[in-house]
Amino acid sequence: MQPPIYYSKAEYIETDTGNKVSRRATIAGPQNIILGGKTIISSGAIIRGDLRRTGPGHAVVISLGRYCLVGESCVMRPPYKTYRGNFNYYPMKIGDHVHIGANTIVEAAQIGNHVEIGRNCVIGKFTIIKDCAKIADNTFVPPNTVIPALSLFAGSPGHFVEDLPESTQEMVEAMAKQYYTRFQPDPNEPTPAPRR
Amino acid sequence: MPPSIEFYCPCLASTPHPPPPHLASSSYSFHPLHNLFFCEECDAIRCNRCVMVEVSGYYCPNCLFEVPSASVRAEKNRCARNCFMCPNCRNTLTVVPSDPPDTGAAIVNTVGEPPFFLYCNHCRWDSAEVGITFEKPTGLAAQLQKYEDSAPESLEFERLKEHYEPHLRASPSTGPAAPHSHHTHTNPITAAASSALARDIPGVGKYTPHSSSVGRNRSSRNKGNYNEVPDYRARVEIGSSNFTMGGGGETDVDLMKHLEDMSEIATLEQRWENSWMTSLQTGDLKPLRIPLHSKKSKRCPSCRHILIKPEQKAQSVRYKIKLVAANYLPAITVSLPHLYAVLAAMRKPGKTPQLSDIESTMHAGKTYSFQLSFTNPLYDPIQVRLHVQRSLPSSSMAEDGGGPSEKRRPPFSVTLPSSAFPIAAYAEAWEYEDDEEMFGVEEDDFDGGGGGRGGGREQGRGRTKTIGILERRANVTVIGGEVAISKEARGNIKFNMLVSYTYRSDDSEPSEEQSTPSRAQVQNREPEMKTFSFYTAIDLGTIIPREEHKSDAMEY
């Protein structure tokens, strides 16, 4: 029932698997980034796939599942630490149906499925977010925090607020799918962009 | 605020009819659909306020370890591994070693140099500040628990337990709570505690939850036993000088007198996490073991059937049993087509639509159409009938409205189609259709003119037809209604709506077959047809009062 969200066709690149990536997003090291399909990368987002683990061979730095949303001006960069004297980046894994609000910085190690992250949040290094968790707007999650499944976190530093309802999974899934359906090219746009 | 709809759970009321929606108290009876449960046995909606909650498992929210319930009690409901909470900011603490000595850079100790201490990487609090350091980075919880257990209150509590233990063991088990009791936590210990309280402190008895008939019976039955318990003599006198730090005695007053900085006193939130009363001073805060979380199963309050039963694994989000109302009741969403028209108009000049701008566009003295979209979750088609609960010419509206003339007329009147309308059955196949074109073709010929989706269609249709079935596709039916706002109206357009739906119950809910004889009254002409009714509260938004009223209000 909600109205469509129109975007300028010239701005977004749509892949075969239905990913929609803004040309105004900064995607560094795209060969190290996996998008699961039907994932939207909004304009101004920065995804640092170039910050890879040292060593030879191919390395996946950031992987996103299906029906994800990376909001406007989000920064996604892999966590790093110095372990036994060696500085290294570590991969970031994000599940399906994960929405990340605008202006949020994510340095998590792992984000499960059906997770909602609000706007203007900071998700600290090596944070682990389990399935169906929710981070309220303007939350600061300190590094190394573990957010259990079906819990709402808010505040600075973010802490547990309440348990989410049992039907969270279905709701978030429906919301994420609906968002993708609503996100469509503007039909009234005067000049259709040349396909690349 | 976009228009919203909430569903009624009758657990708080004595009548099946909900309170008028503009009363502040009514918000406690209405819930979003996804927060509600549905008991098949009772054929009733249940909410989080009325279900019986049982703990089905404990886990630490930080290390996610599933704690067996046997050790939960011994470990005092807190994590016994290496999980600690910063007493200052409630962040998780990390164990850090001391700086290595400058000389021997060659010796690489993998765990680091003792002494170890706990450090908060959010507020930079560390446990060395309060003199807590560790020789080894393992088994810290046991060391801290030792400290916790030596608190005078803790010792006192242990002694109290010891004192009553033989008596509790001897007294006959009260067994599981009676089926109709709402008090899920009735066990011998709480029953004993509350009846002891009621006996010793005059006036408490009538406030305890056990004043219900069930509780009274139990306490009167056990009364004889409690008198046999020998008197308990406290080991520490309350108010003795060595004990009053934080207890509100002379020492606290002294501390307050010489206080120079507000931050020297710990906030209530910082002290609240402690099991026992602690010092008021920030400097005395100790690291806390993280309190455990629990997974809960939920039961119907009247028939005790399980509504929610989570899987054993703590971080699993699946359920063995999950009877949520969203699987039984049609989901309803409310929308105001004129808002979309505004949105579309705003979009034309190239502006980005902002929801805040269109927050309230309902002017007094005008008529607006609204749409209700019903989604059928059942595998059978249903027939739905709507009925608006007439809002009484009510007190609260008149109170904040002022004028006595407003009392007589309701501030708005709602028109909805009075005849029943069908919603097609839910089919799994629709779930997989990601192409939106597929939605349109299914049943478009029902009311003619599928048209494009989105704002344009809603505008166009809004003009031709506003009341009745606007659209049918898949398992969704869109119904149009109208609200006429009176000239004097103000406040929110909020009304209660009764939704009745008729469904065939034979194959969709096989578990109900045993219970059909008891539910004969809801069966009408065909044996399989059943009707279920529930109330909803719809809030369409705030009415913008007329200009002259606005200027009136300004003067006040």
Tens-digit pLDDT string for chain A (196 aa): 577 889 999 999 999 999 999 999 999 999 999 999 999 999 999 999 999 888 777 789 999 999 999 999 999 999 999 988 889 999 999 999 999 999 999 999 999 999 999 999 999 999 999 999 999 999 999 999 999 999 999 998 999 999 999 999 999 999 999 999 999 998 887 665 555 5
Cβ proximity of B465 and B507 under 8 Å: no
> Considering only CB atoms, which chain A residues are within 8 Å of B91?
142, 145, 157, 159
Contacts of A43 (CB under 8 A, 6+ apart): A11, A22, A23, A24, A25, A72
Choose among B331, B501, B499, B497: nearest CA to B414.
B497
Return the sign of the alpha-carbon dihedral for residues A186, A192, A193, A196: positive
- The interface pTM score, or ipTM, of the predicted complex is 0.89
Rounded CA-CA distance B311/B297 in Å is 10
> Considering only CB atoms, which chain A residues are within 8 Å of B474?
none
Q: Is residue A36 part of a domain?
A: yes
Name the residue among A132, A144, A166 with its Cβ closest to that of B92.
A144
Rounded CA-CA distance B403/B323 in Å is 48
- Say how many Å lie between the first and final Cα of chain A, rounded: 33
At B133, which amino acid appears? T
Choose among B248, B228, B224: nearest CA to B238.
B248
| Inter-chain touch A168–B91, beta carbons under 8 Å | no
Name the residue among B122, B315, B333 with its Cβ closest to that of A149.
B315
CATH of the domain at A153: 2.160.10.10
Closest chain A C-alpha to B455 CA, distance in angstroms? 7
Give me B81's structure tokens: 């591994």
CA-to-CA dists, residue A78 to A74, A112, B35, B412, angstroms: 13, 16, 36, 55
Closest chain A C-alpha to B110 CA, distance in angstroms? 8
Nearest CA in chain B to A8: B350
> Considering only CB atoms, which chain B residues are within 8 Å of A188?
348
**DSSP string for residues in B33-101:** GGG-EEETTTTEEE-TTTSEEEEEEEE-TTT--EE-HHHHHHTTTB--SS-EE-TTT-PBEEEEEEPPP
pTM of structure: 0.78
Residue B200, pLDDT score: 62
Cβ proximity of B85 and B289 under 8 Å: yes
pLDDT tens per residue across all 556 residues of chain B? 678 899 998 887 777 778 887 777 788 888 999 999 999 988 899 999 899 999 999 999 999 999 998 899 888 889 998 899 998 888 999 888 887 766 655 555 566 777 888 999 899 898 888 888 888 888 888 888 887 777 777 888 888 888 888 877 776 655 444 444 444 445 566 666 666 666 666 655 544 444 444 444 444 444 455 556 677 777 666 555 444 455 667 777 887 888 888 888 888 887 777 767 677 777 778 888 999 999 999 999 999 999 999 998 888 999 999 999 999 999 999 988 877 777 666 665 544 545 444 545 678 888 888 889 999 988 888 999 998 877 554 444 434 444 444 445 677 888 888 888 889 888 876 555 544 444 433 333 333 333 333 333 444 444 456 788 888 888 889 988 888 888 877 778 888 899 999 988 664 444 444 444 444 444 444 457 888 999 999 988 888 877 654 444 444 4
Return the sign of the alpha-carbon dihedral for residues B461, B466, B469, B475: positive
Pairing of strands A140-141, A122-123: parallel
Residue B554, pLDDT score: 46
Structural domain boundaries in chain B: 4-36+330-555, 57-97+114-151+237-289, 153-228
Number of domains in chain A: 1
Q: Where are the alpha helices (DSSP H) in chain A?
A: 168-182
CA atoms within 13 Å, Cβ hemisphere of B366:
12
- Burial grade of A79 (CB within 10 A; 0-12, 13-18, 19 or more): buried
- Phi, psi of B6, rounded to the nearest 5 degrees: -130, 155
B4-36+330-555, what's its fold?
Immunoglobulin-like (2.60.40)
Cβ proximity of B334 and B43 under 8 Å: no
Rounded CA-CA distance A183/A100 in Å is 15
Residue B131, pLDDT score: 84
- Which residue has tokens 């909020």? B494
| Inter-chain touch B61–A177, beta carbons under 8 Å | no
Closest chain A C-alpha to B169 CA, distance in angstroms? 35
Task: Among B67, B86, B315, pick the best mutation site for testing chain A contact (most A Cβ within 10 A).
Answer: B315
Cβ proximity of A169 and A114 under 8 Å: yes
**DSSP string for residues in B427-442:** -HHHHH---THHHHHH
| Inter-chain touch B340–A3, beta carbons under 8 Å | yes
> Considering only CB atoms, which chain B residues are within 8 Å of A148?
59, 61, 64, 293, 314-315
Q: Is residue A90 part of a domain?
A: yes
Q: Is residue A94 part of a domain?
A: yes
- Burial grade of B474 (CB within 10 A; 0-12, 13-18, 19 or more): buried
| Inter-chain touch B348–A132, beta carbons under 8 Å | no
Range of the domain at A110: 5-185
Interface residues from chain B to A (CB-CB < 8 Å): 34-35, 59, 61-64, 89-92, 94, 108, 110, 121-123, 293, 296, 308, 314-317, 319, 322, 324, 326, 333, 335, 340, 343, 347-348, 371, 373, 434, 436, 452-455, 478
| Inter-chain touch A143–B63, beta carbons under 8 Å | no
How many residues make up chain B in this entry? Answer: 556
- Burial grade of A191 (CB within 10 A; 0-12, 13-18, 19 or more): exposed
Q: Is residue A105 part of a domain?
A: yes
Residue A144, pLDDT score: 92
